[in-house]
Chain A
Amino acid sequence: MFDNFTGMAEPMSDTPFVAVEGLHFARGDKEIFRGVDMTIQRGAITAIMGPSGSGKTTLLKLIGGQLLPDAGRVLIEGQDVHRQSRKALFAMRQRMGMLFQSGALFSDLSVFENVAFPLRVHTDLPGTMVRDLVLMKLEAVGLRGARELMPAELSGGMARRVALARAIALDPELILYDEPFVGQDPISMGVLVQLIKRLNQALGLTSIVVSHDIKETLTIADYVYVIADGQVMAHGTPKSLDVDQDPRVSQFVHGEPDGPVPFHYPAVDFVSDMLSPGGPR
């Protein structure tokens, strides 16, 4: 399945490919980030993990320039994403791929046309070459045979693989994965885990994987950031996090239901709540 890839991963360099500095972001009154700092090395798979609702997807949107931070900045190869003109930002995005949680395939285009879309709009390649490239990308995700299908005819796992083929169509340098493993059966989960790892190695990509599937993510990540309460709670290699003594990190990494991160949403005392004479609620 991965016979096409013979390339080698690029050696890691010391200058970060993506740098997040002092990021603050709030939605209405709710503060989502309170000073997040991260460095993402070129050629590595960096995982950003955290409980649901900790703002992981928001972070990806901030990196991709879809949201504006309240303070702080995001640098990609030293260029501030949020200080680009609309045109420069779109040019910058051509060097990024993003895999959405839902796949976000264009529902009026077939699988083939979905993958061909970035090639058609950004290059002047002749039709035969577009066809070859699309088939190569589809072969890489194992769906060359599904090229004539429409997105509505695909299973969730297949849709995500097509979306992955589309994300790598222009051979980007950076891929952002938004919860790639959510709602996948064990087989497609395994396929995706392997795909992310092999693509990163073979194409020399830099990958950022946002996920809360600890086991799968830790097997492929080179470096991990754990975010909670709007800040980076811990970061390090998967091994160092596994033995981290911080109870909050340990609770998350080992998946314990209760601990420093409470099981209960903040509420008044249960007994007094039950006994209080109140309205219908």
Chain B
Amino acid sequence: MIQRIRRLGHRGCDLLESFGRAGIFLAQSAVGLPSREGLYLWVRQMHFVGVLSLAIVLVSGLFIGMVLSLQGYTILVDFGAEDALGQMVALSLLRELAPVVAALLFAGRAGSALTAEIGLMKATEQLTSMEMIGVDPLRRVVAPRLWAGFVALPLLTVGFGVVGIYGGYLVGVDWLGVFEGSYWSNMQASVDFVDDVGNGIIKSLVFAVVVTWIAVFQGYDLVPTSEGISRATTRTVVYSSLAVLGLDFVLTAVMFGGLA
């Protein structure tokens, strides 16, 4: 029994220690003035993290918008309320689905790649050799990736929302025959820029920080073996997904809990 308690305490301490390490890691790498060189590295990472995730995020957005519209129509039509389809699609996407699903896709597509890349650089001593050359890998390797993630995910989320709404339009208006004017005007009347679009973007900013932080830290902190890399990549996807879903509830409660 004592052994178990001791083990539990030990795990707790380990957990706290790794939180501490992750915090110091974030502070040391993300805080600091960008240089011209840093800007170039950031643009390169924006390409890898952002542009290359564009296809999967936009295609998913389109399908989710289409499904949402189809499902929404079958329910709303029972009440003769199919004119509110635009409002339903837009609010679900902007408040919830775009930030959450884009973050989950981002964790799978870009997060795991970041972990594996940095992990492999660690395993092949590239990070150590950079340190020995007198270049801080936190500033040179980690910082551009962190900032690329912070900026890319909110942009991807906006893209997801836009394409999703268009997907809803395709199914609802073009296929199911909802009146086009009511699809758009209901949306315009009910969607508030600050409450809905703004809060959605705040959510995606929070998710961007959390997902990129987890991905990059897992890569930097892993055991430099093939098994270590595979475990860290898995941990990135699992931890980021859980963190996104958990934080989404907290943020939703704070943002929209008072509206009821």
Cβ A104 vs Cβ B37 within 8 A: no
Query: Cα distance A102–B120 when bound, in Å?
Result: 13
Could you say which of A100, A166, A170 contacts B128, with CB atoms under 8 Å apart?
A100
Cβ A93 vs Cβ B37 within 8 A: no
Cβ A102 vs Cβ B124 within 8 A: yes
Cβ B125 vs Cβ A117 within 8 A: no
Residues from chain A with Cβ under 8 Å of B140 in the complex: 121
Cβ B125 vs Cβ A102 within 8 A: yes
A122-B134 CB under 8 A given contacts A102-B124, A104-B126, A107-B124:
yes
Cβ B124 vs Cβ A117 within 8 A: no
In the complex formed, the residue of B with least CB distance to A109 is B126
A73-92 vs B: 1/0 string, CB under 8 Å?
00000000000001000111
In the complex, B133 has a CB within 8 A of chain A: yes
Query: Cα distance A97–B125 when bound, in Å?
Result: 14
In the complex, A66 has a CB within 8 A of chain B: yes
A91-B134 CB under 8 A given contacts A102-B124, A107-B124, A121-B37:
yes
Cβ A66 vs Cβ B134 within 8 A: no
Residues from chain A with Cβ under 8 Å of B126 in the complex: 104-107
In the complex, B192 has a CB within 8 A of chain A: no
B100-137 vs A: 1/0 string, CB under 8 Å?
00000000000000000000010011101111111110
B202-236 vs A: 1/0 string, CB under 8 Å?
00000000000000000000000000000000000
Residues from chain B with Cβ under 8 Å of A91 in the complex: 134
In the complex, A94 has a CB within 8 A of chain B: yes
Cβ A104 vs Cβ B124 within 8 A: yes
Cβ A104 vs Cβ B129 within 8 A: yes
Cβ B129 vs Cβ A100 within 8 A: yes
- Of B129, B132, B140, most buried by chain A (CB within 10 Å of CB) is B132
Cβ A96 vs Cβ B125 within 8 A: no
Q: How far is the CB of B52 from chain A (nearest CB, A)?
A: 15
In the complex formed, the residue of B with least CB distance to A120 is B37
In the complex formed, the residue of B with least CB distance to A178 is B125
Residues from chain A with Cβ under 8 Å of B37 in the complex: 121
In the complex, A118 has a CB within 8 A of chain B: yes
Residues from chain A with Cβ under 8 Å of B134 in the complex: 90-94, 118, 121-122
Query: Cα distance A96–B134 when bound, in Å?
Result: 9
B121-162 vs A: 1/0 string, CB under 8 Å?
100111011111111100010000000000000000000000
What are 20 pairs between A and B in contact, CB < 8 Å?
A: A66-B128, A66-B132, A90-B134, A90-B136, A92-B134, A93-B133, A93-B134, A96-B132, A98-B129, A100-B125, A102-B124, A104-B125, A105-B126, A105-B129, A118-B133, A118-B135, A121-B37, A121-B133, A121-B135, A121-B140
Interface residues of B (CB under 8 A from A): 37, 121, 124-126, 128-136, 140
